[in-house]
Chain A
Amino acid sequence: MINNILSLLIWVPIFSGLAILFYNKKENYLNAYNIFINFLILILSILLLINFDQKDSSFQFIEKKEWITSLNIEYFLGIDGISALLIVLNTIIFFIVSIYNSTLNIKKSNQYYASFLIANGLTIGVFSSLDAILFYIFFEALLIPMFLIIGIWGGVDRVYASIKFFIYTFFGSVLLLIALIYINSQISSFSVLSLYDSNFSIKEQEWLFIAMAIAFAIKIPMFPFHTWLPDAHVQAPTSGSVVLAAILLKVGAYGFIRYVLPVVPIGAMSFNVYFIILSLIAIAYVGIVAISQNDMKKLIAYSSISHMGFVTLGFFIIFNLFNNSLNNGDIIISLSGSMYQIISHGFISAALFICVGSIYDRYKTKQISDLSGLLNQMPVYSWFFLFFALANCGLPGTSSFVGELLIIVSSFKVNFAYAFIASSTLIISAIYSLWLVKRVIYGEIKIKVDNCNNIDANITEKFILYILALIIIILGVYPDYIMSFMNMSLQNISSNIIIKL
């Protein structure tokens, strides 16, 4: 079983999602089924983590089968340290979402659960495929369940948001497809391994970089391409927002580290400055935009963009680090900062969206100006909210501190100005996070609720929040496990980059 574990991880949720479409009678059974499948996937992914050999820098759990021989496309799965961690992040988040969903009253719940289960399998497919076209297929197929989740179960403007989301991302991914086809026409292979061995001329690399970078920059999203995200987040149902922020944005980041940087480093190097500037704009400017939001979900959406700016900053300063010194270690520190930020942001944004979603369920509003004094009515919730807000602004001891610190340290080695702007986030994110807490949690009670005891977090919600808080603290206090886990894979990628430069 352990040899086919990746296939199991992909296809079990997809088929159980399809199966659930044909049953919509007893709500309880549906819930139990949904949680059970997600739990099963979580256990499988943890098995994957346990059996993963950290010392080995090559891809593991490889499954390679002929799929479409006439088009050179293979069914080629395998993971390294990066993708293993992202798969576990994915399964944890989907498990939490499945528990969270069980507390809600959802219309057409079987279709809702099916969309999430299918999205779960497809995301694992994105993270584990080593054939570029297989990756592309999962990458694009992932749009369909998310499109339906936003469009069917979303808010008032859901149609606009979902179509914008779909077309924006599709636009990016067709450019990716063109780039991949071009690569295949040159090296006649789609396998990641031969992509890493490829050697394109500077001009080719630049064009390929533009095509691929736009695709992933839309997905992350980077600064000028980010406008779909606030709409999608505000309109999506809470669980949809959680998956969007915690998983989907990471798909873009994963694309950068897996397909862009090691395959076309020279192209990346020539546009390096622009991407650093865009990342800095995302960090500082989008952070400032977040301050002025009145919708809590929008605020967290902008804060997500700002935090993902760190990830791209970490990715693109490696070329300056390379120019400054030929030290492989610096590059790895910067990349592992980015990867750490990816994982940490996955948990923190999920937690924040769940908090906001719960507030919305109780008060039917997401507007900050409508809310005040939540501490009096739901104390447990408020403490968690405060904790996650602090984690969001990079409090030492929480996971986001580690990633941001590493990236800021690396950018100091490159350029003082970069580091200065990047560290401004510590203040900006503190402003929007803490001000949000101040306005929502503290102050006078604005909305009267009759029975205060009943609206505080119930057991399932407490369970979710405890788990997330625990993970965030563990990641913040003991980053070494994750770091050593990624180390070999990042070394592999950075040596790939250096060889090509």
Chain B
Amino acid sequence: MIIQNTIYSMINYAPEISLSIMAMIILLSGTFKLLKKYLFLITFFSVFLALFFSFIYYPNEQIYLFNSSLVKNSVTEFFKYVCYFLFLIQLSISKEYIETRNLNSGEYYSLLVFALIGCFIIISSNNLIALFLGIELSSLSLYSLIALNRVSLISTEAAIKYFVLSIIASAIILFGFSYLYGIAGSLLIYDIVLYSNINEITNLYLFSYILIFIGVAFKFAVAPFHMWLPDVYEGAPLPVANFIASIPKVAFFVFAFRFLNESSIINNENFYKLILILGVFSVFIGNIFALAQKKIMRMLAYSGVANSGFIFLALLAATEYNFSVAAFYVVSYSIATVSAISLITYISSNKFDLVYIKDLKGMSSRSGYISLLFMVTLLSTAGIPLTVGFYAKYLVLDMLIEKELVFTAIIVILMTVVGLYYYLRVIWFMFFEQGMNSIINTKGSLFKFMLSVIPALIVLIFLFPDLILQYIFSILT
């Protein structure tokens, strides 16, 4: 019986298992001179293989694997597909960038795949230990990825900052886990959630939840736990920053979802207030600090802080909308960020990185098409109509007003007006200023096609949002 269960679980967990085998193969291939040229293709193939397996073993109903420590249902699969999609885009855009900087080693690709596996484990785990392993797998891979460019001082600094702070966050999460295990007497998350519904929520239970959500806030870079984000964005190689900006956020959203879904903790006044205050504070800090940034990645980092604040506010909607608001926001934000950072990666695929916003001067005369894509992406992050970001912001506002938090809604929306300025500044440098631009790369029509996938999606989903909205509403209900 045990063997049967294990085999059943292993078959259903084929995508991740195949990915981890392939990650080791990639690592090995990196050591052979002959195979080193094909690393990119092998990685691409392995992701496709995993994607293929996850299509085949798509769960028709919720299934538990490995003694209920992992769960597979339509929610986990949906977010995994989002991750696959984002990962493939990032991977294909970063090829040129990595090669010109001589970073294309086996370690790079395999660590990236390991980080992806870590995120997948976070998405599908139902067990505190598995969850923690997933967090550590993704974080440890990311520490080394940030420091991949050994000669760069700024990368090393960013890696150490991320390492130290992330370890502390993990420790805090683990502390919370230990309390939860003590209280509920079970490592399974659904037992822990169930405990809160059956018994009265004690202070200790609340405390452990707060500890866990501080960890989540750290991973989301919600202010005041956002300090690492700008440095990491600035210091990490752009493809790695692209990864950090998107896929862990999707994963940690599912983490938060798993802890809050059907839990009565969200109705606890203290917990509710904590999330609300963190959200508003983060929107505030992110938008104000982004105004002053001169470097484009730091600006995107602070804009990420502001958007994470919105995600936290969206988590409050759990009681009415069952997380679909937050899910929609996370997906729309992460695709827009991936698009923005991919564009920057593409632009700086020549020798020099695009560091300052003013380096974008004269961009539209160099490549009008790329500037247009950039504009669509930025407008989506700002939440202007004609882009999907509008619905994301709209849903959050709708939910806040529904919960009679009209004042909060007004504050956060006014902060986005403030924030609009720094998005417009990028557009201004691209379109309104003339300038010589030797940094900007304009080569490769295949890359241009890959880059236009997300902006096209952003506009298309804006025009026909009903399908995706209804899908998200249905799976999260």
Q: Is the interface of A mostly helix, strand, loop or mixed?
A: helix
Among B398, B432, B433, the residue within 8 A (CB) of A185 is: B398
Instruction: Find out whether the CB atom of B406 lies under 8 angstroms from the CB atom of A182.
Output: yes
Among A71, A144, A148, A163, the residue within 8 A (CB) of B421 is: A163
Interface residues of A in 31-53 (CB under 8 A from B): none
Interface size in chain B (residues, C-beta < 8 A): 35
Complex alpha-carbon distance, A175 and B410, angstroms: 8
Among B368, B395, B406, B433, the residue within 8 A (CB) of A111 is: B368
Instruction: Find out whether the CB atom of A159 lies under 8 angstroms from the CB atom of B413.
Output: no
Smallest CB–CB gap between B419 and chain A, Å?
10
Complex alpha-carbon distance, A159 and B428, angstroms: 7
Instruction: Find out whether the CB atom of B379 lies under 8 angstroms from the CB atom of A71.
Output: no
Among A137, A171, A182, the residue within 8 A (CB) of B385 is: A137
Instruction: Name the segment of A62-70, A359-367, A397-405, A433-441 touching the other chain.
Output: A62-70
Smallest CB–CB gap between B164 and chain A, Å?
39
| B470 within 8 A of partner (CB) | yes
Q: Knowing A159-B432, A163-B428 touch, does A174 contact B414 (C-beta < 8 A)?
A: yes
Binary contact readout B396-432 vs A (1 if CB under 8 angstroms, 0 otherwise): 0110011000100110011011001100110110011
Q: Knowing A70-B466, A178-B406, A185-B398 touch, does A171 contact B391 (C-beta < 8 A)?
A: no
Residue of B394, B410, B470, B473 contacting most chain A CB atoms (<10 Å): B394
Query: Within 8 Å CB of A70, what residues of B?
Result: 466, 469-470, 473
Instruction: Find out whether the CB atom of B413 lies under 8 angstroms from the CB atom of A174.
Output: yes
Query: Within 8 Å CB of A421, what residues of B?
Result: none
| A315 within 8 A of partner (CB) | no
Smallest CB–CB gap between B393 and chain A, Å?
9
Instruction: Find out whether the CB atom of A71 lies under 8 angstroms from the CB atom of B402.
Output: no
Instruction: Find out whether the CB atom of A170 lies under 8 angstroms from the CB atom of B420.
Output: yes
| B59 within 8 A of partner (CB) | no
Complex alpha-carbon distance, A68 and B384, angstroms: 17
Complex alpha-carbon distance, A174 and B411, angstroms: 11
Complex alpha-carbon distance, A148 and B414, angstroms: 23
Smallest CB–CB gap between A115 and chain B, Å?
11
Query: Within 8 Å CB of B227, what residues of A?
Result: none
| B390 within 8 A of partner (CB) | yes
- In the complex formed, the residue of A with least CB distance to B473 is A70
Binary contact readout B268-293 vs A (1 if CB under 8 angstroms, 0 otherwise): 00000000000000000000000000
Smallest CB–CB gap between A418 and chain B, Å?
33
Complex alpha-carbon distance, A166 and B414, angstroms: 14
Instruction: Find out whether the CB atom of A163 lies under 8 angstroms from the CB atom of B414.
Output: no
Instruction: Find out whether the CB atom of A178 lies under 8 angstroms from the CB atom of B470.
Output: no
Task: Give how many A-B residue pairs fall within 8 Å (CB-CB).
Answer: 90
Instruction: Find out whether the CB atom of B432 lies under 8 angstroms from the CB atom of A184.
Output: no
Residue of A152, A181, A185 contacting most chain B CB atoms (<10 Å): A181
- In the complex formed, the residue of B with least CB distance to A24 is B368
Query: Within 8 Å CB of B433, what residues of A?
Result: 159
Query: Within 8 Å CB of B414, what residues of A?
Result: 171, 174
| B386 within 8 A of partner (CB) | yes
Q: Knowing A70-B473, A171-B414, A178-B413 touch, does A185 contact B401 (C-beta < 8 A)?
A: yes
Complex alpha-carbon distance, A434 and B397, angstroms: 50
Complex alpha-carbon distance, A185 and B400, angstroms: 10
Query: Within 8 Å CB of B469, what residues of A?
Result: 68, 70-71
Complex alpha-carbon distance, A175 and B364, angstroms: 32
Query: Within 8 Å CB of B401, what residues of A?
Result: 178, 181-182, 185
Complex alpha-carbon distance, A174 and B427, angstroms: 21
Complex alpha-carbon distance, A70 and B322, angstroms: 14
| A141 within 8 A of partner (CB) | yes
Smallest CB–CB gap between B458 and chain A, Å?
14
| A162 within 8 A of partner (CB) | yes
Query: Within 8 Å CB of B368, what residues of A?
Result: 111
Interface residues of A in 106-148 (CB under 8 A from B): 111, 133, 136-137, 140-141, 143-144, 147-148
Instruction: Find out whether the CB atom of B394 lies under 8 angstroms from the CB atom of A177.
Output: yes
Complex alpha-carbon distance, A140 and B466, angstroms: 21
| A167 within 8 A of partner (CB) | yes
Interface size in chain A (residues, C-beta < 8 A): 34
Complex alpha-carbon distance, A175 and B466, angstroms: 25
- In the complex formed, the residue of A with least CB distance to B463 is A67
| B465 within 8 A of partner (CB) | yes
Among B386, B394, B420, the residue within 8 A (CB) of A141 is: B386
| A151 within 8 A of partner (CB) | yes
| A345 within 8 A of partner (CB) | no
Instruction: Find out whether the CB atom of A151 lies under 8 angstroms from the CB atom of B431.
Output: yes
Among B398, B425, B427, B431, the residue within 8 A (CB) of A184 is: B398
Complex alpha-carbon distance, A141 and B382, angstroms: 13
Instruction: Find out whether the CB atom of B466 lies under 8 angstroms from the CB atom of A67.
Output: yes
Smallest CB–CB gap between B48 and chain A, Å?
32
Complex alpha-carbon distance, A145 and B390, angstroms: 17
Smallest CB–CB gap between B258 and chain A, Å?
24
Complex alpha-carbon distance, A68 and B462, angstroms: 10
Instruction: Find out whether the CB atom of B424 lies under 8 angstroms from the CB atom of A167.
Output: yes
Smallest CB–CB gap between A453 and chain B, Å?
37
Among B417, B432, B466, the residue within 8 A (CB) of A174 is: B417
| A250 within 8 A of partner (CB) | no
| A158 within 8 A of partner (CB) | yes
Smallest CB–CB gap between B430 and chain A, Å?
10
Instruction: Find out whether the CB atom of A170 lies under 8 angstroms from the CB atom of B417.
Output: yes
- In the complex formed, the residue of A with least CB distance to B465 is A68
Among B395, B417, B421, B432, the residue within 8 A (CB) of A158 is: B432
Instruction: Find out whether the CB atom of A136 lies under 8 angstroms from the CB atom of B428.
Output: no
Interface residues of B in 366-399 (CB under 8 A from A): 368, 379, 384-386, 390-391, 394-395, 397-398
Query: Within 8 Å CB of B398, what residues of A?
Result: 71, 181, 184-185
Instruction: Find out whether the CB atom of B397 lies under 8 angstroms from the CB atom of A166.
Output: no
Binary contact readout A65-102 vs B (1 if CB under 8 angstroms, 0 otherwise): 01111110000000000000000000000000000000
- In the complex formed, the residue of A with least CB distance to B324 is A70
Binary contact readout A418-450 vs B (1 if CB under 8 angstroms, 0 otherwise): 000000000000000000000000000000000
Instruction: Find out whether the CB atom of A71 lies under 8 angstroms from the CB atom of B432.
Output: no
Instruction: Find out whether the CB atom of B391 lies under 8 angstroms from the CB atom of A137.
Output: no
Q: Knowing A144-B384, A181-B398 touch, does A171 contact B431 (C-beta < 8 A)?
A: no
Complex alpha-carbon distance, A365 and B470, angstroms: 57
Q: Knowing A70-B473, A171-B417, A185-B402 touch, does A137 contact B386 (C-beta < 8 A)?
A: yes
Query: Within 8 Å CB of B394, what residues of A?
Result: 71, 133, 177, 181
Smallest CB–CB gap between B67 and chain A, Å?
37
Instruction: Find out whether the CB atom of A71 lies under 8 angstroms from the CB atom of B470.
Output: no
Instruction: Find out whether the CB atom of A178 lies under 8 angstroms from the CB atom of B409.
Output: yes
Complex alpha-carbon distance, A388 and B314, angstroms: 54
Query: Within 8 Å CB of A71, what residues of B?
Result: 391, 394-395, 398, 465, 469
Query: Within 8 Å CB of A184, what residues of B?
Result: 398
Query: Within 8 Å CB of A151, what residues of B?
Result: 427-428, 431-432
Complex alpha-carbon distance, A141 and B462, angstroms: 12
Smallest CB–CB gap between B328 and chain A, Å?
10
Query: Within 8 Å CB of A143, what residues of B?
Result: 384
Smallest CB–CB gap between B467 and chain A, Å?
10
Smallest CB–CB gap between B368 and chain A, Å?
7
Complex alpha-carbon distance, A124 and B311, angstroms: 35
Complex alpha-carbon distance, A182 and B403, angstroms: 11
Smallest CB–CB gap between A139 and chain B, Å?
8
Complex alpha-carbon distance, A67 and B395, angstroms: 16
Query: Within 8 Å CB of A67, what residues of B?
Result: 466
Complex alpha-carbon distance, A162 and B432, angstroms: 10
Top 5 nearest A-B pairs (CB, nearest first) are A137-B385, A151-B432, A174-B413, A70-B469, A140-B385
Given contacts A137-B390, A170-B384, could you give 20 more A-B pairs where the C-beta distance is less than 8 Å? A67-B466, A71-B469, A137-B385, A140-B384, A141-B386, A143-B384, A144-B386, A148-B431, A151-B427, A151-B428, A152-B364, A162-B432, A163-B424, A163-B428, A170-B417, A177-B397, A178-B401, A178-B413, A181-B394, A181-B401
Residues of A at the B interface (CB closer than 8 Å) are: 66-71, 111, 133, 136-137, 140-141, 143-144, 147-148, 151-152, 158-159, 162-163, 166-167, 170-171, 174-175, 177-178, 181-182, 184-185
6 contacting pairs across A/B (C-beta < 8 A):
A68-B469, A71-B398, A151-B431, A158-B432, A171-B417, A178-B413
